[in-house]
A and B are shown apart, each in its own frame.
Chain A
Amino acid sequence: MTHFENAEQAKRDPLYKEALTELLYQFADDDFILAFRGSEWLGLAPHIEEDVAFSSITQNTMGHATFFYQLLEELGEGDADVLAHERGPESRKSAVYLEKENGDGHYLDEPFYDWALTVVRHYFYEEFKQVKLELATRSSYQPLADAAQKVLMEQPYHLAHWKMWVKQLLAAGGEAEERLRARMVEAWGEFKDVLELGPKAKQMADAHLIAGEDVIETQWVERVETTVGKISKQQLGKKQGSGRSGEHTGELTIALKTLSEVYDTDRTAIW
């Protein structure tokens, strides 16, 4: 297996670089959109301690996104800030489920956000992120392996937090459990897109960038079901389309527009 020590080496192999950048965009764009959805909760979380915790996790997750955009910058994809803020929905590789709005209403007037959706989405996502990062520590691209190792030293705090919420709300029974279960079933019908590696999956495997998506799926299902039990008799689905192939909903378009409004107010500011 060919090992690539740095960006310069990777750039000399166009096919390798193509698969590598695709994978890095997935890591970066997933963290980016989920951190944005998290930031919309600022000041609205169920209690003050949660507000502090959630915003800390969100800031750290945005830091991880920036970290992956920097790896893309090293590969000649352009400035990391530009990659984060100036790419349209069609070039985003994040999964569709992650762009789903937090609930009805809008941040600025009546945000009827759903805590059940947030708890389920973040818990499912953090379990997935941990699996994908663990597999990436063995990547043939050394800077990605290093990045995965680094992020894994911080990310388990995020996972532990959402796992605690899931366990407590399920144990509470009644409406809390019902609403959580409903959101889990909904997620089950859409989450396959998150677990997939997209159109270049085979190229990624051939280049030993990361293990196959079947491995990601198996490990994710096993870990999630250990915590919450069996979710559904149905197959995992991707009802909302394949974000990995660039398919997205209008909800991403609006999110990116909101983000760029802030970004456009001062393009030189450090975010």
Chain B
Amino acid sequence: MKVPIEETNKKIYNVLKHVDDPELPGVSVFDLGMVHKVEVSGKGAFITMIPTFTGCPALDIIAKDVKVAVEKLAEIDCCKVEFSYRQPWTTDAITEKGKEQLKKHGVSPPPEHYTPGEEWSVDCPFCKSPFTSMENVFGPTACRSILYCKTCKNPFEAMKPVVKYLVN
């Protein structure tokens, strides 16, 4: 019996919703907006992904995790994963669910409105207070910053805003 490609496609997306970023357990690569395109041909799958930060050391692990997870599907024998820089990743690509999952992880989603080069702040992921201060723009990974909540007195992290750079 031949399974329609759209069905397989849907199944692959479902799998990708459960492959987590190794540095953010509980947040899937799909919800981070890293999945650009899924193509199916016969029993092969070709997945184009968008890397978050270029220096991200987790990319190889992510590619492997995606490959292993997708190849567990009965419909797929071989899955190829490629990172493409043609469509730059921006933090706008994070889904609503992704934002909620990040907060559960103690990481605030990036600010909604951000002008490159300017200071920014986000609400505390624990108590939602807006009274927060920037401790260090550079956090434990390239994509995160360290902040402090003046209300509940907890340090927390936030995803660094990344937007398209407009060249004059």
Contacts and interface: CB of A to CB of B under 8 A. Distances in A.
A, B from the same assembly? yes
Interface of A: 49, 52-54, 56-57, 59-64, 66-67, 134, 137-138, 143, 146-147, 149-154, 156-157, 160-161, 270
Smallest CB-CB A-B distances: 8 pairs: A63-B55, A56-B138, A53-B138, A152-B165, A60-B55, A63-B54, A146-B85, A134-B167
A150 B88 contact: yes
B160 interface: yes
Interface string B137-150: 11111100010000
Nearest to A155: B165
Given A154-B54, A157-B160, A60 B142 contact: yes
Q: Which of A49, A67, A153, A160 has the most CB of B within 10 A?
A: A153
**Interface of A (DSSP majority class):** helix
Interface residues of B, number: 28
A53 B116 contact: no
Nearest to A61: B55
B81 interface: no
A230 to B, nearest CB: 24
Contacts of A146: 85-86, 88
B109 to A, nearest CB: 17
B54 A156 contact: no
A158 B139 CA distance: 13
A153 B88 contact: yes
B112 interface: no
21 contacts: A52-B140, A52-B146, A53-B136, A56-B138, A56-B142, A59-B55, A59-B142, A63-B55, A66-B54, A134-B168, A137-B167, A143-B85, A146-B88, A149-B164, A153-B162, A153-B163, A154-B53, A154-B55, A154-B162, A157-B137, A161-B138
Contacts of B116: 156
Interface string B154-165: 000000101111
A156 B117 contact: yes
B48 interface: no
Given A146-B85, A154-B142, A60 B54 contact: yes
**Interface of B (DSSP majority class):** loop
Interface string B79-109: 0000001101010000000000000000000
B86 to A, nearest CB: 6
A105 B75 CA distance: 61
B142 A52 contact: no
A52 B167 contact: no
A52 B54 contact: no
Given A49-B136, A146-B86, A64 B165 contact: no
Contacts of A270: 57, 60
B56 A63 contact: yes
Interface string B112-142: 0000110000000000000000011111111
Interface string B46-61: 0000000111110010
Interface string B25-66: 000000000000000000000000000011111001000000
A162 B164 CA distance: 21
